C-alpha cells in the first residue's frame, strides 16, 4: 500500500489513514539509541522508551494530525506533564492533533524533539517536555512504512563485530565512479531517493552500479550513463538494490574500502543503514 499524505475529511478517518508504523528512539551515543517505543497496559497514559514491558507500539497517522494505536485508541499529549500516551478510556479526552512525519521522523507541533524520562529501573517514559532529572533527548524514527520519494539520507555501514560497523559512506572526488566505506578521504555521501526509484547525490549526479565490477558510485561525468533505477529503503531503514540489502566493502588500499554489490577478495559483507536528513544539522 502506498503511503498517502492526501487531505481527507474527518468523516472518513478509516479510509484516510496512512500505513501503520512503529517508532524507534534515535539518540546517538546513548543506550536508548535504536530501541523501540512500547505500549504498556499498566500505564496506558504514557508510552515507554525501551524497557522490557508491554508490546511494541504501532501507530496510524491521519490527515488531521491525530494518531491511533494498534487497538484503535487515540494518542494524547498531556498539556501539563508532556507525557505521550493513550487518551483516557472514558472518552473524556480528544485525540491530540499536530503530529506529523518529516523525512522519516515523527514530529509534534513541527518539532522532532522528544524526551525519555526515567520512571524506574530500566524504565523511561515518552514526553515532549524536557527538564526531567536524568532525561535523554531523543528523536523518533518511523519504521515499517514505505519511505516517500524525495527523501534525503546519508548512509553508514551496518556490520556487527567489524571495525567498519557504523562508519559512513563517502564520496571521493578522485574516484567518483565508486563510493568509499569508511576511510579518511572525501565527504559524507548524501543521496535522495527519486520517485522513479533512482538515487541522486547532493551534487545532482545520479548513482550507478557497474554491471561488471558491481561498484557503486556516480554516473560518468560525460552523460553516457543513466542513474539506475531499483533502489528502495526497507521497513527497518536499510538501503536495498533490486530488493537486496547485501553490499560489500572491498579493500582498495591501506584503510580504504570500495562499496560494491559483488564480493571480492578480503571483502566485508555489510548492510547500509539510512539516516534521514531533517532541518536540524546532524554531525558527520
For the segment 163-186, the average pLDDT, to the nearest whole number, is 94
pLDDT score for 93? 85
Write out pLDDT tens, residues 3-13.
333 322 333 33
Per the structure block, which three cell numbers stand in for 23?
517508532
Furthest C-alpha separation in the chain = 66
pLDDT at 223 over 80: no
pLDDT score for 272? 97
Q: Supply the mean pLDDT for the chain.
A: 85
Q: What phi-psi label fits residue 65: left (phi over 0), alpha (psi between -120 and 50 degrees) or beta?
A: left
Rounded distance between C-alpha atoms, residue 60 and residue 66, angstroms: 8
Q: What confidence tier does 169 reach under pLDDT thresholds 50, 70, 90?
A: very high
- The answer for residues whose C-beta is within 8 angstroms of residue 61's C-beta and 6 or more apart is 17, 18, 21, 67, 99, 100, 101
Per the structure block, which three cell numbers stand in for 271?
548492510
Rounded distance between C-alpha atoms, residue 107 and residue 65, angstroms: 10
Rounded distance between C-alpha atoms, residue 145 and residue 49, angstroms: 20
Rounded distance between C-alpha atoms, residue 257 and residue 279, angstroms: 31
Rounded distance between C-alpha atoms, residue 83 and residue 131, angstroms: 13
Task: Map residue 49 onto helix, strand or coil.
Answer: strand
Write out pLDDT tens, residues 246-271.
999 999 988 899 999 999 999 999 99
Q: How many other CB atoms sit within 10 Å of the CB of residue 130?
A: 13
What are residue 33's DSSP bridge partners? none
Q: What confidence tier does 157 reach under pLDDT thresholds 50, 70, 90?
A: very high
Rounded distance between C-alpha atoms, residue 7 and residue 263, angstroms: 46
Q: Do residues 208 and 228 make contact, with C-beta atoms less than 8 angstroms apart?
A: yes
Task: Residue 23: name the closest of 92, 99, 129, 123 by CA.
Answer: 99
Show the domains of the chain with their CATH numbers.
10-143 (2.80.10.50), 151-276 (2.80.10.50)
Q: Do residues 22 and 37 make contact, with C-beta atoms less than 8 angstroms apart?
A: yes
Write out pLDDT tens, residues 97-117.
999 988 789 999 999 999 999
Amino acid at each position: 500500500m502506498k503511503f498517502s499524505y492526501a487531505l481527507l475529511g474527518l468523516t472518513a478517518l478509516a479510509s484516510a489513514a496512512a500505513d501503520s508504523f512503529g517508532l524507534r528512539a534515535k539518540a546517538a551515543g546513548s543506550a536508548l539509541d535504536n530501541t523501540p517505543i512500547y505500549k504498556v497496559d499498566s500505564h496506558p497514559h504514557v508510552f515507554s522508551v525501551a524497557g522490557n514491558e508491554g508490546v511494541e507500539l504501532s501507530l496510524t497517522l491521519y490527515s488531521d494530525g491525530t494518531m491511533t494505536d494498534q487497538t484503535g485508541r487515540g494518542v494524547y499529549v498531556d498539556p501539563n506533564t508532556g507525557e505521550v500516551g493513550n487518551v483516557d478510556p472514558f472518552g473524556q479526552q480528544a485525540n491530540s492533533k499536530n503530529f506529523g512525519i518529516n523525512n522519516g521522523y515523527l514530529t509534534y507541533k513541527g518539532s522532532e524533539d522528544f524526551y525519555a524520562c526515567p520512571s524506574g529501573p530500566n524504565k523511561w517514559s515518552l514526553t515532549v517536555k524536557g527538564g526531567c532529572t536524568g532525561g535523554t533527548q531523543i528523536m523518533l524514527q518511523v519504521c515499517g512504512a514505505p519511505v516517500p520519494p524525495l527523501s534525503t539520507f546519508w548512509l553508514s555501514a551496518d556490520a556487527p563485530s567489524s571495525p567498519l560497523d557504523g562508519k559512513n559512506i563517502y564520496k571521493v572526488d578522485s574516484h567518483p565512479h565508486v563510493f568509499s566505506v569508511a576511510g579518511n578521504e572525501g565527504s559524507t555521501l548524501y543521496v535522495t531517493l527519486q520517485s522513479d526509484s533512482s538515487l541522486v547525490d547532493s551534487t545532482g549526479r545520479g548513482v550507478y552500479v557497474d554491471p561488471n565490477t558491481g561498484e557503486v558510485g556516480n554516473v560518468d561525468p560525460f552523460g553516457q550513463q543513466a542513474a539506475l533505477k531499483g533502489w528502495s529503503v526497507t521497513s527497518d531503514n536499510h538501503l536495498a538494490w533490486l530488493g537486496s540489502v547485501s553490499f560489500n566493502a572491498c579493500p582498495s588500499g591501506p584503510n580504504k574500502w570500495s562499496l560494491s554489490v559483488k564480493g571480492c577478495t578480503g571483502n566485508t559483507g555489510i548492510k547500509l543503514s539510512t539516516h534521514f536528513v531533517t532541518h536540524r544539522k546532524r554531525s558527520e
